[in-house]
Amino acid sequence: MTDKHVYFFGKDSTEGDRGMKDILGGKGANLAEMAGIGLPVPPGFTVSTDVCISFSKLGNKIPPEVEEEILRNLKKLEDVSQQKFGGKDNPLLVSVRSGAKFSMPGMMDTVLNLGLNDTTLDALVEKSSNRRFALDCYRRLIHMFGDVVLGISKKKFEGILKKKKGEKKVALDHELSEKALEELISDYKDLIKTETGKGFPQDVKEQLLMSISAVFESWNNPRAVTYRRLNHIPDDLGTAVNVQQMVFGNIGEDSATGVGFTRSPATGDKELYGEYLFNAQGEDVVAGIRTPSPLKTLEKKMSSVYTELKEITTNLEKHYQDIQDFEFTVQEGKLYMLQTRNGKRTGLAAVKIAVDMVEEGLVSKENALLMVEPDALNQLLHPVFDAAEKGKHEVLASGLAASPGAAAGQVVFTAEEAVAWAKEGKKVILVREETSPDDIHGMSAAQGILTATGGMTSHAAVVGRQMGKPAVVGCGDVKPDEEHKSFQVGKSKYEEGDWISIDGALGEVLDGEIPTQPSEIIQVVRGEKKPEESKIYQYFTKFLSWADEVRKLGVRANADTPEDASVALAFGAEGIGLARTEHMFFEKERLPFMKEMILSQTEQERRSALDNLLPFQKEDFYGLFKAMKGHPVTIRTLDPPLHEFLPRKEDLMVELAELKASGSQDKKKIEELERLLERVKALSEFNPMLGHRGCRLGISYPEIIEMQATAIFEAVCQLAKEGEKVFPEIMVPLVGTQEELSNQRSIIQRVAEDVLKKNKVKVDYLIGTMIEIPRAAITADQIAEEAEFFSFGTNDLTQMVFGVSRDDGAEFLAHYITHGILKDNPFETVDTNGVGELMKWAVEKGRETRPDLKIGICGVHGGDPRSIFFCHKIGLNYVSCSAYQIPIARLAAAQVVLMERTNK
């Protein structure tokens, strides 16, 4: 803690500026900045954020030396304002407002009109010659102080107010007579006495210090703590407290108060945007009791004020080089600025504003890139509900907002039904307990996915995001009964075919059909709309082209089909970083061969089944390569355990038990089930995540890898002969030792050379590996002897480094995050301390062996901005993410470069 804790602001004696957000908070720093550049800001002072921390440490007590400093500054404020706090004439009134480094709107507390008591009330009456106004201020003070500082339920005050309005037969607060206000004040005081045993404090310094304390305490109220968790704001920043001379928008009809934006935060359109109320104080605008008027109407009603406001805010936008969100008050015709800050905006607005400001010459391209949150780009891609339509529908339940976007459809319970219904042209929502890889086609056919279990990185969530499909997962209130094709939610039951809607951005499940439409950008990307017909698309691509000029990281897509690949390419992907070959085996006409392969007793039987799969795989790869037009395509060899392709053990056991217990005589069926069960049991594992999968399969059954390599290189040869460019990278999963990779590499290389030679084709290709087993990262120098590239599989790597299965860990990880044991979910953002440390080690070690080693990432983290920053910092060559996250990745990759520049 430094020696100075209180910073004054006011025309000639301002001590802070906008660079001091760390200690003054956002509001305090901006008030100082505005005061410093000569704008009409009521004077005041800011108690710094570090006091908030020492306040907590002292058990919620203001340190005595700080109290002294506050009182010194209060004296100065009296001097500057030429008023006296608690003075019997010309009394000084102040507001006390929180203001942390990062804006946390509505999370913490505010008290207005401090300095009023029974004595100064009379002084204020005298000074303002407006008794009604003075009483209005006093009743507001007691109400807010009672609520915020004394912790008495707001509802009790509101109840009294409502009763009073009823008695007096008026509808609005400002219609209350002076008498009514006097009675109200008396009733409020009685309430405080009853609730706390003491009267409303008449000592104005006590009022002030209690209010400052209350604001500091509010830093740790549950709302604020939760908000910080969700927004990744550290707990140890603390809030500052701003004490500021009151100006009054409620002094009469030549007074007003309002809030506004310099541009539309919804659309980005360049127009003064906001609302105000005559004869009101700040909270009235937000409270919604009176309907405020649109800001432009002020032009007619208070022309000079409007002109001044317009001028000031235009200058503020220039000064801050960003859209401003401001608050103002007009007291008896004079304009005061009470707050300015960069405005929060939708993704659409963010992009438009950034581009417009560059074109207006207000900001550089680099700064424009830093004005848009990468994740906000998502909002431009997902279908949306019409807000008005949505309001008409009941919210049935809430789950995790796993994949944004809005979808409406008829409920179905199996992937097969989803496909069948979709074929008939119906829109469906696939509702399942959870999804698995064999639901892929059903998920693909559905408008959206709703699951009862699973977390943000569950199968449904990951695939949903990858497909750009809205998904609500882990929605425990929804209880699907697949057998009876219905689900229960609360007291309602939904049957197959009933309509529901889901909002993947909010995690909401709603009754009935709410109409949706794909976003314009998606329509363009899918070729359903021409680029020149969409302004949004033009903004979007212009903006991202600037990102491409700056970024150093390559951006690739995780894509398994030619369709995905085309979308990825349209979004700017520079290659495929992960094509999962196993998805190809779940398709209807292939699964039987896959099952045959798995149930084979001998290598020969297995080879014959594989021969049947070969043409399918070749076709898959041909399509992918062709779609990617010569960009590199990373194909991962078979990864999941074989039992994933067979029915579940317990289902078979139950079926068998039922069949037997029912006295069935169908011996053939029983025997068949028993044989299948035996194989399923033999393949079943206690911890499949740590079992026989990835390259371990390829080592046990080299013929599978031979088939896959053959399919890849036959497709390559066919395309080469057709004159197409192809650049395959074959990636071996789940490698833990150099010898494993060496084994798989030699098979792939042998097949590749054979096929290329036979076809007389020359093509460059790479063989590399996932780094997803901790041991591979630790021994990266050895692995790099065999690997021409690395790709971090951060999903599995995180599971193993933490020893946490993402499927099983959802519940206790949530508990960890609420209890502050983890700051972030490591399955969403790379845990830089643990997993990241290992990644850094692997990059360094790998490049010790092979300085030109190409290194990427293909876990879900490849689409997470903070993880992308980290990937850049440790020197990866590219990130790979779902096609729909490509724009995010392009922007994040540019931002990290710009942030590094400014930190230099």
Cα-to-chain-centroid distance, residue 715: 40
Give me the catalytic one of 475, 858, 871, 881: 858
Q: How far is the CB of 452 from its own copies (least distance, A)?
A: 12
* The one segment of 189-197, 609-617, 657-665, 893-901 that binds its own copies by CB under 8 A: 657-665
Closer residue to its own copies, CB minimum distance, 270 or 696: 696
Residue 623 or residue 688: which is nearer to its own copies going by CB?
Answer: 688
> In whole angstroms, how close is the CB of 811 to its own copies at the nearest point?
7
Nearer to its own copies, 382 or 643 (CB): 643
Site string for its own copies, 616-655 (x = CB under 8 A): ---------------------------------xx--xx-
Q: Segment near its own copies (CB under 8 A), from 152-160, 343-351, 375-383, 835-843? A: 835-843
Asked if residues 272 and 296 have their Cβ atoms less than 8 Å apart, the reply is: yes
Sort residue 60 into left (φ over 0), alpha (ψ -120 to 50) or beta.
Answer: left
700, 725, 746, 750: residue in contact with its own copies (rule CB under 8 A): 700
Cβ-based neighbour number of residue 195 at 10 Å: 14
User: Would you say 377 or 732 has its CB closer to its own copies?
Assistant: 732
| Interaction pattern, residues 756-785, with its own copies; x per rule: CB under 8 A | ----------------xxxx--xx--x---
Query: Rounded CA gap, 550 and 540, in Å?
Result: 16
Minimum CB distance to its own copies, residue 831 (Å): 8
408 or 801: CB nearest its own copies: 801
Using CB under 8 A as the binding rule, whether residue 696 contacts its own copies is answered as yes
Phi-psi label, residue 864: left if phi above 0, alpha if psi -120 to 50, beta otherwise: beta
Q: What is the DSSP string of 43-90?
A: -EEEE-HHHHHHHHHTTS---HHHHHHHHHHHHHHHHHHT-EET-SSS
**Residue 602 contacts its own copies per CB under 8 A:** no
Q: Are 136 and 118 in contact (CB under 8 A)?
A: no
Instruction: Please report whether residue 862 would count as binding its own copies according to CB under 8 A.
Output: no
Query: With CB under 8 A as the contact rule, which of the stretches 64-72, 370-378, 439-447, 737-745 interacts with its own copies?
Result: 737-745
Decide if 858 is catalytic. yes
Active site residue 459: yes
Asked whether position 538 contacts its own copies by CB under 8 A, the answer is: no
Q: Which of residues 222 and 663 has its CB atom nearest to its own copies in the complex?
A: 663
Closest Cα partner for 341 from 119, 709, 714, 24?
24
The answer to whether 739 contacts its own copies (rule: CB under 8 A) is yes
Nearest to 553 by CA among 864, 896, 844: 896
Selected binder of its own copies within 528, 658, 671, 844 (CB under 8 A): 658
* CA 616 vs CA 221, 589, 714: distances in Å: 59, 9, 12
The Cα 127–Cα 106 span in angstroms is 33
What is residue 325's DSSP assignment? E
Instruction: Kindly state the smallest distance separating residue 493's Cβ from its own copies, in Å.
Output: 19
- Which C-beta is closer to its own copies: that of 250 or that of 451? 451
- C-alpha angle with apex 561: 555 to 562, nearest 5 degrees? 80
CA-to-CA separations, 131 to 135, 178, 252, 795, 864, in angstroms, rounded: 6, 7, 11, 67, 58
Binding footprint of its own copies, residue count (CB under 8 A) = 59
Please name which of 29, 57, 42, 20 lies closest in space to residue 216, comparing C-alpha atoms: 57
For residues 865 and 506, give the distance between their C-alpha atoms in angstroms, rounded to a whole number.
20
Classified as helix, coil or strand, 625 is helix
Does 743 interact with its own copies (rule: CB under 8 A)? Answer: yes
Q: Which two tokens stand for residue 401?
A: 């907002």
Indicate the length of the chain as a whole number: 904
Least CB distance to its own copies at residue 844 (A): 14
Residue 692 found at the interface with its own copies (CB under 8 A): yes
Complex with its own copies: residue 614 or 689, whichever CB lies closer? 689
Tell me which stretch binds its own copies (CB under 8 A): 202-210, 374-382, 735-743, 872-880: 735-743
- The contact mask relative to its own copies for 357-386 (x = CB under 8 A, - = no) is ------------------------------
Q: How far apart are CA 555 and CA 566, in angstroms?
A: 15
Told to check if 737 binds its own copies by CB under 8 A, we report yes
| Paired tokens of 749 | 């290389």
At residue 8, the 3 state secondary structure works out as: strand
- When asked if residue 799 is in the footprint of its own copies (CB under 8 A), the reply is yes
Stated as kind and residue range, the H or E segment containing 230 is helix 222-230
Which 8-state DSSP code applies to residue 291? Answer: P
740 binds its own copies (CB under 8 A): yes
- Contact letters for its own copies, residues 122-141 (x by CB under 8 A): --------------------
665 is a contact residue toward its own copies (CB under 8 A): no
- Using the minimum distance from each CB to its own copies, give the nearer residue, 280 or 839: 839
Closer to its own copies by Cβ: residue 419 or 783: 783
821 is a site residue for its own copies (CB under 8 A): yes
- Binding residue for its own copies, selected from 172, 286, 657, 899, defined by CB under 8 A: 657
Backbone angles phi, psi at 540, to 5 degrees: -60, -50
Maximum distance among all Cα pairs of the chain, rounded to whole angstroms: 104
End-to-end C-alpha distance for the chain, whole angstroms: 27
What dihedral do alpha carbons 207, 213, 218, 220 form, nearest 10°?
A: -160
Q: Taking contact as CB under 8 A, which single stretch among the options 83-91, 197-205, 416-424, 820-828 is the one that binds its own copies?
A: 820-828
Q: Is 528 in the site for its own copies (CB under 8 A)?
A: no
Q: Do the beta carbons of residue 265 and residue 344 sit within 8 Å?
A: yes
Figure out which of the listed residues 767, 801, 857, 892 binds its own copies, where binding follows CB under 8 A: 801
> What DSSP string describes 802-854?
HT--HHHHHHHHHHHHHTTS-SS-TTTS--IIIIIHHHHHHHHHHHHH-TT-E
Point out the catalytic residue in the list 459, 643, 861, 872.
Answer: 459
Q: Is 395 in the site for its own copies (CB under 8 A)?
A: no
| Single residue of 99, 238, 640, 809 touching its own copies by CB under 8 A | 809
Residues 398, 507: contact at Cβ < 8 Å? yes
Q: Which of 300, 491, 686, 852 binds its own copies (CB under 8 A)?
A: 686
Of positions 838, 842, 871, 881, contacts its own copies by CB under 8 A? 838
The number of beta carbons lying within 10 Å of the beta carbon of residue 104 is 21
Structure tokens at 528: 């359903």
Least Cβ distance, residue 117 to its own copies (angstroms): 45
**Residues near its own copies, by CB under 8 A:** 649-650, 653-654, 657-662, 685-692, 696, 699-700, 734, 736-737, 739-740, 743, 772-775, 778-779, 782, 796, 799-805, 807-809, 811-812, 815-816, 819-822, 831, 833-835, 837-838
- Residues carrying an active site annotation: 459, 858
